[in-house]
Amino acid sequence: MALADIAVDVSEPFVRELSQSALETVEGRFDGLKTRALEKLAEQGVASETASYDCYLNLQYQGSDTTLMIVRPEDGDFAKAFIEEHKREFAFTLEAPIMVAGVRVRATSKSKSDDLSETSPYMEELKQLDASGIVPSAPKSFATNSVYFEEVGRFTDVPLYRLHDLTPGMKVPGPAIILDNTQTIVLHPQNTARILKSHVFIDVGLGPRKAIDLQSVDPIQLSIFSHRFMGIAEQMCRALQKTAVSVSIKERLERKGELRPGDMLVSNTPEAGGGHLPDITCIQPVFGDDGKDIVFWVAARGHHTDIGGLGGNSHHPNQTVRQEEGVAFESTFVIRDGVFNEKEITEIFMKAGDYPGCKPTKRLDHNLSDLKAQCSACTIGTSQLHDLFDEYGKDVVHFYMKAIRDNAEACTRDALKQYAGKTYSATDYFDDGTVVKLKIDISEDGTGTFDFTGTGPEVLANFNAPEAITRSGLLYCLRTMSGTDIPMNAGVLAPLNIVIPKGSVLSASEDAAVSQGNGEVAQRVADIVFTAFNVMSGSHGSMNGTHLMYKKWTWAETTCGGASAGPTWDGQSAVHTNMTNTRIGDLELLETRFPAILREFSIRRGTGGAGKHRGGDGIRRVYESLVPMEASHDGQRRVIAPHGSEGGLEGERGASYLKKRTRQGGFRIVKLKPAAQVEMLPGEQLIVHTAGAGGWGVPEGLEAAEPAQPTVGPKAGSRPPPFTRANGSVSQWGQAQAECD
């Protein structure tokens, strides 16, 4: 710490498009910041002649929230440096003006003791020791301790030394530990420490990595690879955040002909493994070193708010056929031979308006930018996988990828064994009366049959779902019930025989509309699985999707509600539940980016079902239009209430209302259908009430009724019951992510 450089940073906001005139103004800002920085250095006793300065511009593309701090390049071309850095980090550039978001200066006073060149005093002291010919005495340890080193592959007893007992010239071979009052120095087996007068000089050499056994799974390596793969996925997600304004997939993608390194494909149709059309997936093959064999696949899926559709709404409540839901990509090159296929992609987006009553996307520029962001995420994932190959070798990476899948299967089997020997069943309904049935049989080895026979046929509406959605909802439930932190993968479903009737609302045909099935059907699948196993009461059970539309702008969000209660917990209020992967929008963003005001966002106290453990409460959210606009809301649990369990009472149903102007100039409140789209005038309000969750157990003061289902209690020693996690706002989560940079 005493040898560290002294540095101070000063900055100030400056918003302007990057241009020559802006740079001339910036130079004056730099001079002012240098003066401020030097004053701060002087307060720490630093002389002005020892200071050096680095000048930065905080730059971003116009319309993007991603900023990059660019240090002044040698040639002074900030624009060129920004474009190169953006392409290096995100694999693409944008055809948009570059904006200055701020200026910054770092002033640094270099330490006089950081020279490690051949003429430094440390190197000179080492030379003198080597030339003296004096053989130092061997160091004496005062104790030993057992330490695990990866190079050795086992715990090894290593000597412990006190630094003050070691004299200049002594050599301490690794493995060893040197202790001081303020530090602990760990020497690996190939390290050698040389004691100097005032420093410890370590010759670092880790040696060859121990070969990883491919015959048996090492639990430590399994955990390492699980987190490495999850880390890659999280880095891909971060790339999407920063730049954005399945087996069945692979089988279809291989029809495209020969794929080459760098190629990427785009797909969103349910038959190609998608959920609903707004979820567009970019897929990239990862090639081996020879550039011929595909050894991995990476994919980045993003929800595009506007892809066209009936009346220009990709989630219009009146959709009845797939063609009314917007653009459809089955398997199209988005990048071919390193070139972004903008012409063909644009043509396909525009075709969404060819169907009667439909319009294409209103923000093609946003769609293209988000696709580029998804391509960037795939590029990062591919790069990270190649780093893994370089570090461990392709065979090891493949071995542990399979091991992760096998481990997920084992966790599922272990979780299901406690339910062996019985048959479990449940029945639930959508608000239109469509029935969903499930029968479960579990064997002693943890395999099981999940049979949805008896479920109603697909409906002439948009809350049908492809089979992939039903399977993913089931996967979510079982992973939750396993109680283990395992990466989401197909191994979870490996021990299951899943029976889903073709043409049902859970396995809709290619013609069926599915835009709301991705949320509403998946939520119903989650509720019915948890109900069958009797692990928790019914949740508010809906994505509660709201869309506000004005000219080319669309505001879309899902809305929270009451979470399930269980044997040992009360349900949380006003949270997203089950497999939803979204967070509610911030009112500040709504009111600054869209002509609407959020008049109320409150908890509907008492709407959760009563019980020994009470269900979570739903919410009330009131949107007021400032201009003429269209609004839609799709929700469930407006007719069929969330059920209670073990004698708990059901939660209160949700509802949607429109506060509409009258001819006399006043207002009237009208109730809307569970899925409705309306036109709003300035001052009119869309009022959304979401359902409360059911309660668990007989409420105090009520007599126990005959339970609707047999109680299914976990066996002794089993994992604790599952729980739902409360999600925060977009802004809160984004801030937490930014703090990790």
Give the pLDDT confidence score for residue 240 in this predicted structure. 57
Give the pLDDT confidence score for residue 198 in this predicted structure. 81
Average pLDDT over residues 170-178: 91
pLDDT-based confidence at residue 718 (cuts at 50, 70, 90): very low
In DSSP notation, 69-80 reads EEEPPTT--HHH
Does residue 461 register a pLDDT over 60? yes
- Between 78-90 and 364-392, two packed helices, what is the crossing angle to 10 degrees? 70
pLDDT-based confidence at residue 254 (cuts at 50, 70, 90): very low
Does residue 707 register a pLDDT over 80? no
pLDDT-based confidence at residue 728 (cuts at 50, 70, 90): very low
Average pLDDT over residues 529-538: 95
What separation in angstroms does the CA of 184 have from each of 142, 197, 201? 15, 18, 14
Q: What are 10-44's pLDDT values in tens digits?
A: 999 999 999 999 999 999 999 999 999 998 888 88
Give the pLDDT confidence score for residue 138 in this predicted structure. 84
Residue with tokens 């992939």: 468
Distance of alpha carbon 603 from alpha carbon 561, whole angstroms: 9
Distance of alpha carbon 595 from alpha carbon 550, whole angstroms: 8
| Cβ count near 1 (within 10 Å) | 4
What separation in angstroms does the CA of 209 have from each of 215, 244, 347, 373? 18, 39, 52, 36
pLDDT-based confidence at residue 712 (cuts at 50, 70, 90): very low
Give the pLDDT confidence score for residue 581 in this predicted structure. 58
Among residues 489, 467, 466, 460, the alpha carbon closest in space to that of 476 is found at: 489
What separation in angstroms does the CA of 520 have from each of 134, 154, 283, 465, 475? 80, 51, 26, 9, 16
Instruction: Check residue 492 and report its DSSP letter.
Output: G
Distance of alpha carbon 233 from alpha carbon 297, whole angstroms: 12
Beta carbons within 8 Å of 218's beta carbon, 6+ residues apart: 212
pLDDT over 70, % of the chain: 87
Chain CA centroid to CA 622, Å: 28
Does residue 710 register a pLDDT over 50? no
- The mean-pLDDT minimum among 86-95, 226-235, 511-520, 598-607 falls in 86-95
Distance of alpha carbon 303 from alpha carbon 209, whole angstroms: 42
User: Which span out of 283-292, 480-489, 690-699 was modeled with the highest average pLDDT?
Assistant: 690-699
Beta carbons within 8 Å of 34's beta carbon, 6+ residues apart: 53, 105, 107
246-253 long-range contacts (CB < 8 A, ≥24 apart) are: 246/273, 246/468, 247/273, 247/490, 248/272, 248/273, 248/468, 249/273, 249/281, 249/283, 249/299, 250/297, 252/330, 252/331, 253/283, 253/331
Tokens at 285, concatenated: 């093959």
Does residue 562 register a pLDDT over 50? yes
Instruction: Check residue 558 and report its DSSP letter.
Output: E
Q: Which residues pair with 193 in a beta bridge?
A: 172, 202
| Cβ count near 662 (within 10 Å) | 8
Among residues 123, 144, 254, the alpha carbon closest in space to that of 196 is found at: 123
| Cβ count near 14 (within 10 Å) | 16
Give the pLDDT confidence score for residue 210 in this predicted structure. 64
What separation in angstroms does the CA of 372 have from each of 86, 94, 221, 382? 12, 9, 34, 15
- Determine contact, residues 686/623, Cβ cutoff 8 Å: yes
Q: Between 103 and 152, name the one with better pLDDT.
A: 103
* Maximum Cα interatomic distance, the chain, rounded to a whole number of Å: 106
Give the pLDDT confidence score for residue 560 in this predicted structure. 93
Does residue 140 register a pLDDT over 50? yes
Beta carbons within 8 Å of 186's beta carbon, 6+ residues apart: 147, 177
Among residues 653, 655, 652, 572, the alpha carbon closest in space to that of 614 is found at: 572
Give the pLDDT confidence score for residue 120 in this predicted structure. 59
Average pLDDT over residues 434-444: 96
155 by DSSP, 3-state: which? strand
Whole-number average pLDDT of the chain = 85
Tokens at 54, concatenated: 């680095």
What separation in angstroms does the CA of 72 have from each of 76, 88, 192, 566? 6, 17, 41, 58
Q: Between 450 and 196, name the one with better pLDDT.
A: 450
Average pLDDT over residues 612-629: 97
Beta carbons within 8 Å of 59's beta carbon, 6+ residues apart: 18, 67, 68, 69, 70, 78, 82, 98, 99, 100, 101
In DSSP notation, 560-628 reads -BPPPPBTTBPPPSSB--TT----PPPHHHHHHHSSEEEEEEEE-TT-SPPSSBPPPP-EEEEEEESSS
Length in residues, the chain: 741
Beta carbons within 8 Å of 320's beta carbon, 6+ residues apart: 460, 461, 462, 513
Q: Which residues pair with 310 in a beta bridge?
A: 358
Rounded to the nearest 10°, the torsion over CA 305, 309, 310, 314 is -20
Among residues 211, 212, 192, the alpha carbon closest in space to that of 202 is found at: 192
pLDDT-based confidence at residue 4 (cuts at 50, 70, 90): low
Average pLDDT over residues 142-171: 89
pLDDT-based confidence at residue 670 (cuts at 50, 70, 90): very high
Distance of alpha carbon 13 from alpha carbon 58, whole angstroms: 9
- Determine contact, residues 584/576, Cβ cutoff 8 Å: yes
Dihedrals phi, psi of 320, to nearest 5 degrees: -130, -15
Distance of alpha carbon 330 from alpha carbon 5, whole angstroms: 56
User: Which span out of 79-93, 210-224, 397-411 was modeled with the highest average pLDDT?
Assistant: 397-411
Give the pLDDT confidence score for residue 430 in this predicted structure. 94
Chain CA centroid to CA 222, Å: 22
Instruction: Check residue 649 and report its DSSP letter.
Output: P
Give the pLDDT confidence score for residue 44 in this predicted structure. 82
Q: Which residues pair with 623 in a beta bridge?
A: 598, 686
Dihedrals phi, psi of 554, to nearest 5 degrees: -135, 130
Distance of alpha carbon 523 from alpha carbon 289, whole angstroms: 43
Q: What sign does the CA torsion over 251, 256, 260, 263 have?
A: negative
In this structure, the strands spanning 448-451 and 496-499 are: parallel
| Cβ count near 74 (within 10 Å) | 6
Give the pLDDT confidence score for residue 244 in this predicted structure. 54
Beta carbons within 8 Å of 551's beta carbon, 6+ residues apart: 362
Tokens at 595, concatenated: 């002509």
Residue type, 165: D
Give the pLDDT confidence score for residue 717 in this predicted structure. 37
Average pLDDT over residues 273-302: 88
CA angle 370, 374, 378 (to 5 degrees): 165
Give the pLDDT confidence score for residue 536 in this predicted structure. 95
- The mean-pLDDT minimum among 211-220, 274-283, 433-442, 659-668 falls in 211-220
Dihedrals phi, psi of 352, to nearest 5 degrees: -60, -20
CA angle 166, 170, 172 (to 5 degrees): 85
Give the pLDDT confidence score for residue 484 in this predicted structure. 78
- The mean-pLDDT minimum among 197-201, 520-524, 567-571 falls in 197-201
User: Which span out of 88-92, 181-185, 435-439 was modeled with the highest average pLDDT?
Assistant: 435-439
**Helix (H) or strand (E) segment spanning residue 477:** helix 467-482
Does residue 174 register a pLDDT over 70? yes
**From the CA atom positions of the chain, what is the Rg in Å?**
31
**Helix (H) or strand (E) segment spanning residue 346:** helix 342-351
Average pLDDT over residues 346-374: 92
- Determine contact, residues 502/517, Cβ cutoff 8 Å: no
Give the pLDDT confidence score for residue 91 in this predicted structure. 64
Give the pLDDT confidence score for residue 266 in this predicted structure. 93
Chain CA centroid to CA 448, Å: 30
Give the pLDDT confidence score for residue 703 in this predicted structure. 64
- Determine contact, residues 695/615, Cβ cutoff 8 Å: yes
Burial category of 462 from C-beta neighbours within 10 Å (exposed 0-12, middle 13-18, buried 19 and up): buried
Does residue 372 register a pLDDT over 60? yes
Beta carbons within 8 Å of 257's beta carbon, 6+ residues apart: none
Does residue 345 register a pLDDT over 70? yes
- Determine contact, residues 479/486, Cβ cutoff 8 Å: yes
pLDDT-based confidence at residue 688 (cuts at 50, 70, 90): very high
Average pLDDT over residues 700-728: 45
